Structure 1
Amino acid sequence: MKLGKKILLMIAAIVVTTVVALGVYITSAYNFSTSELSKTFKDYKTSGSSSNAIKQTKPFSILLMGVDTGDSERHSTWEGNSDSMILVTVNPKTKTTTMTSLERDILIELTGPEDNNMNGAQAKLNAAYASGGAQMAIMTIQDLLDIKIDYYMQINMQGLVDLVDAVGGITVTNNFDFPISIEETEPEYTSSIEPGTHKINGDQALVYARMRHQDPKGDYGRQQRQREVIQKVLKKILALDSVSSYKKILSAVSKNMQTNVEISSRTIPSLLGYADSLKNIETYQLEGEGQTINEISYEIVSSDHLLEVQNRIKKQLGLEESTELKTTAVLSENLYGTSSYYSSDYSSDYSSYDSGYSTGYDTGYSDYSNSGYSDYSTDTYSQDASAYAY
């Protein structure tokens, strides 16, 4: 089944909240929860040492990736494309959480293991996952943002459906004078929501949060519905009052998530120390200017905007802010010698990732059989725009 793109960040937000909320019932649910969540654990070597931030209840960062694993020709559950990437910081001292969405089409120099043939190549940001899985995506984004990423979490699309069903559905209102449906563009999704207020299941929630073409507001309308779904699912999770309810959620999570966040007797007490931080979530986006090079579209970031984003993240993590930019992104100044202006107010109400791309996946990447992944280019970027081709 062809999986969607932008909704995946919702699952990640739900998962983080579920793990924290689980602590309320940890005495009786402990054995089940650790058994289920142990299935999700997968660590990668991306820096000198593993992070102990959560065990010490310190501020931490976690990279959330929504993975499109829908191609039937792929041989691994996690072989696919990272269509959503969000860098989350959680600070128990300031009791705040930030979510910074990263445009998948940002032009960047990839960072990976030395034996990866794409290490050092310039391509779109989401080529990192396609080239070397979660490990290369983490390493590339660390260099993009000039930080060490403590943890990662990758989610597939079915998780949203299962989680909405696990909380017993949510109630939404279709204010349009037509049914909300995406069957015309994606025939595999046949659910719909009639005008009016309805309690919907997981399949309907997926459609409700993904419909864009019929919405007069386009992507902005879709983003609004995505925020609504996030808020309503989180509200229901936090209101749960039984171990059996959490077991349903954890079962859904264990089938659709992979992470290096350890859930054990050593970490659960520390995780509870972050509960208040999840009540205050600020959302931002690292964005670029759309540029077309050899008929391929990219997002080119400016140095001023990227430095602002880096320093916001560093401040949230309790790190020293920088006066000079350090990054592997291809900057607009390097291309054109000028810096585009980005207002600091651009993200004040941005609470869900959406790049405005259609549901069809088209990055311009070609197949590379030796990596175990697919859909990226082996070509590299040149200062001469005409030389940049896929």
Structure 2
Amino acid sequence: DTIMVAAYDTAEQKVGVVSIPRDTLVDRSFPKINAVYGSGGIEALKETVSDLIGIPIDHYMTVNIRAFKALVDAVGGIDFYVPCDMDYDDSTPDQELYIHYKEGMQHLNGQQALEVVRFRHNNDGSGYTDVGRTQTQQKMLTAIAKKVLSWSSLSLFNNFVDIFTQNVKTDLSATDIAWFATQAVGVDFGTGVSTGTLPGDGDARYNGVSWCYQLDREGCLEIFNELLNPYTTEITLDMTNMFQVK
């Protein structure tokens, strides 16, 4: 249920990453964007996201959560600041999720890192929303990428390649991936990576479905232009399609 759009300017060595909340309102029979992939596959999701933000989507990656766990373990874990106390248990068969961490800097293995990025709220209802979760996911991915690119061991690099090929589907060619990887070594993860989450209101209702996340069009447009815009001119509202409940 995690959808992110990334723009990489290889000339300026700048990366923009924007999270699209999973309940984002779209004009469909089931009006939440996280249902698009399940019903129409990656091409439908690419088309929907492109229509939403007004920018062509050149390539895609779908990532199995096993890759996330394996990659964190491959780099020896991640030092990460857990943003709040986390106490959540869900024993239902399709979840089996138990998350218990204290706010503060923690050293996390792959399973623990996955639990932290999946957390949304505690059993008592405290915690944060899906927007808060996307911000934690962005910070975690940045930390992982920074650590991966800091390794120079050939054997470890081969391990990364194995994890990627086993758990990631993409329309990028092997040549594309190798080229982007060589370029990414030059990214300063302190100043060269910017992240954002599309602002909106999660109280919308459409087609009988509650808790749809209606985007704040002006706020989103600012993020599109700041983090994703590949053009020499501004993206305008008429180029986008951020559906609104009338």
**What interval of TM-score do these two structures reach, taking the shorter chain for normalisation?**
0.7 to 0.9
Aligned runs of 1:53-92 on 2, under 5 Å?
83-92=1-10
The aligned amino acid for 2:53 is L
Output the CA distance in 2 between the equivalents of 1:174 and 1:85.
21
> Structure 2 vs 1, CA of residues 228 and 85 (structure 1 numbering), >3 Å: closer, same or farther?
closer
- The question of whether the paired residues in 2 share the 8 Å contact of 1:89 and 1:313 is answered with yes
Larger-gyration structure (1/2): 1
* The one of 166, 171, 194 aligned to 1:260: 171
SS in 2 for 1:123: coil
Structure 1 segment 137-216 matched on structure 2, within 5 A? 137-171=45-79, 182-185=88-91, 188-189=96-97, 199-214=107-122
Aligned to 1:369: none
| Structure-1 separation of matches of 2:154 and 2:79 | 23
* Separation (CA, whole Å) in 2 of partners of 1:324 and 1:170: 39
Deviation at 1:286, TM superposition (A): 1.9
- Relative to its length, the structure with more strand (as a share) is 2
In structure 2, C-alpha distance between the alignment counterparts of 1:169 and 1:312, rounded to whole Å: 32
CA distance in 2, matches of 1:244, 1:124: 42
Query: Aligned residues: percent identity?
Result: 25
Residue 244 of structure 1: aligned partner: 155
Judge conservation of contact 1:144–1:328 (CA < 8 Å) in 2.
Answer: yes
Alignment of 1:358-377 (within 5 A): none
Whole-Å separation in 1 of the counterparts to 2:103 and 2:74 = 25
Query: What is the Cα deviation at residue 221 of structure 1?
Result: 7.2
Task: Tell me if the contact between 1:88 and 1:98 (Cα under 8 Å) persists in the aligned partners.
Answer: yes
The partner residue of 1:301 within 211, 215, 223 is 215
Shift in Å, 1:284: 1.3
AA of the residue aligned to 1:96: K
Gaps in structure 2 of 5+ consecutive residues: none
* Mapped partners of 1:165, 1:268: distance in 2: 22
Asked whether the 8 Å contact 1:105–1:126 carries over to 2, the reply is yes
In terms of fraction of residues, the more helix-rich structure is: 2
1:272 aligns with 2:162: no
**Counterpart Cα distance in 2 of 1:229 and 1:324:** 31
Give the aligned partner of residue 321 of structure 1. Answer: 234
* CA spacing shift, 1:90–1:244, aligned 2, 3 Å: same
Cα separation, 2, equivalents of 1:196 and 1:106: 30
**Is the Cα–Cα contact under 8 Å of residues 166 and 252 in structure 1 kept in the other structure?**
no
Verify the 8 A CA contact 1:101 1:285 in the aligned structure 2.
yes
What's the CA shift string for 1:90-125, capped at 9, x where partnerless?
A: 112332111111122222246xxxxxxxxxx67322
Maintained 8 Å contact 1:166/1:248: yes
> Are the equivalent residues in 2 in contact too, given 1:102–1:287 (CA < 8 A)?
no
Aligned-pair Cα RMSD in Å:
3.5
Report Cα offsets for 1:39-67 as digits up to 9, x if no partner: xxxxxxxxxxxxxxxxxxxxxxxxxxxxx
| 8 Å contact kept, 1:102–1:285 | yes
Matches of 2:156 and 2:184, distance apart in 1? 21
How far off is 1:296 after superposition? Answer: 1.9
| Aligned partners of 2:135 and 2:196 also within 8 Å | no
- Matched residue of 2:47: which SS? helix
Cα shift at 1:236: 2.8
1:134 Cα deviation from its structure 2 partner = 0.1
**Alpha-carbon deviation of 1:191?**
7.8
Separation in 2, partners of 1:203, 1:163: 11
Match of 1:311 in 2: 225
Unaligned runs of 5+ in 1: 1-82, 111-120, 336-390
Relative contact order: is structure 1 or structure 2 higher (C-alpha 8 Å, sep ≥ 6)? Answer: 2
The residue that corresponds to 1:98 in the other structure is: 16
Q: How many residues align?
A: 237
Q: Distance in 2 between matches of 1:274 and 1:175?
A: 27
Counterpart of 1:243 in structure 2: which amino acid? L
* CA shift for structure 1 position 301: 2.4
Q: Quick one: which amino acid aligns to residue 166 of structure 2?
A: K
Task: Using the TM superposition, give the Cα deviation of residue 251 of structure 1 relative to its aligned residue in structure 2, in angstroms.
Answer: 1.6
Distance 2:105 2:11 in 1: 40
User: CA 1:210/1:185 → structure 2, altered by over 3 Å: closer, same or farther?
Assistant: farther
Separation in structure 1 between the aligned mates of residue 113 and residue 216 of structure 2, nearest angstrom: 36
In structure 2, the residue corresponding to 1:137 is in which secondary structure?
helix
Q: Residues 319 and 109 (structure 1 numbering): CA distance in 2 closer, same or farther, change over 3 Å?
A: farther
Kept in 1: contact 2:194–2:227 (CA 8 A) = no
Deviation at 1:275, TM superposition (A): 3.5
Alignment partners' CA distance in 1, 2:68 and 2:187:
23
TM score, norm. by length of structure 2: 0.76
Taking the TM superposition and a 5 Å limit, the aligned residue runs for 1:101-116 are 101-109=19-27
Q: 1:261 to 1:149 in 2, by over 3 A?
A: same
Change in 2 beyond 3 A, CA 1:204/1:324:
closer
CA distance 1:326–1:166, change in 2 (3 Å): same
